[in-house]
Amino acid sequence: MSKYIIITGSPRVGANSDSVAEFIKAELGNNDVEIWNIYEKDFTYCHADNACKELGKCAIDDDATALVDQLKEADGAFVIAPIYFGRLPGPVCTLIDRFYGVFNPAKGLDVPSPNKKVGFVLTMGGDEVENVEPVAAQSAGAFAVVGFGASDSVVLGGNNDPAAFIGSDDEKAKVKALVDWML
Ligand SMILES: Cc1cc2nc3c(=O)[nH]c(=O)nc-3n(C[C@H](O)[C@H](O)[C@H](O)COP(=O)(O)O)c2cc1C
């Protein structure tokens, strides 16, 4: 049994990101799966005070620090998020900035494992999915800091309706292919 964390980045409770997360959880079967909904969590931005460089972890005690510890232990992760103005939503960027708490070149960095994968599912209202494909690739670089050595992504377009994913067999097939890659 492997441990997977599914981070969702939409404030819309029960909308596409939540539906994708539940779908992925079901596809992961009997594995140990935690869905980490951003709207249920309490975390602040990186203070950039470099306290972590002495402590070996972030000096802030909140849900982001706890998640970073969990990500380091996880076998794989998914990030499910809407596209806002062509990029990840602000809270997801804030969360990724908090990876800085374990980024410490002076003490040596963990080598990312190619077997530890992160999969991105990005959902958007428009259809220009190719324009946002670099968003996931750019974020994958930050996940390397917490040990993730491989990444892949799916971008789902035309999804302003919060129930769009639920009603689309085509989108489910694309996300299932990402889960198959993860496994
Ligand atoms: C602040 C904001 C910015 C958005 N920017 C874009 C955008 O740049 N391109 C796009 O196609 N859709 C954009 N959208 C639409 C969302 O990406 C889309 O509705 C998405 O599927 C919502 O995901 P959710 O159902 O999980 O909340 C934006 C929505 C909001 C609220």
Separation between Cα atoms, residue 83 and residue 137, nearest integer Å: 14
Residue 177's pLDDT band, with cuts at 50, 70 and 90, is: very high
CATH of domain 3-182: 3.40.50.360
Parse the chain into domains and list their residue ranges: 3-182
Residues 123-173 pLDDT 10s: 999 999 999 989 999 999 999 999 999 999 999 999 999 999 999 999 999
Residues 47-82 pLDDT 10s: 999 999 999 889 999 999 999 999 999 999 999 999
Among 87, 98, 91, CA closest to 8: 91
CA atoms within 13 A on the CB side of 10: 21
Among 123, 33, 138, CA closest to 81: 123
Query: For residue 169, what are the contacts with CB-CB under 8 A and spacing of at least 6?
Result: none
Q: Are 155 and 132 in contact, with CB atoms under 8 Å apart?
A: yes
**What pLDDT, on a 0 to 100 scale, did the predictor assign at position 25?**
98
DSSP structural state of residue 74:
-
Query: Ligand 1 centre from 19 Cα, in Å?
Result: 15
Q: Per DSSP, what are the bridge partners of residue 150?
A: 117
Report which protein residue has its CA nearest ligand 1's atom 1: 84
Give the residues surrounding ligand 1 with Cβ less than 6 Å away. Answer: 10, 12, 15-17, 82-86, 123-126, 159-160, 162
Query: Ligand 1 centre from 82 Cα, in Å?
Result: 5
Residue 103's pLDDT band, with cuts at 50, 70 and 90, is: confident
Classified as helix, coil or strand, 7 is strand
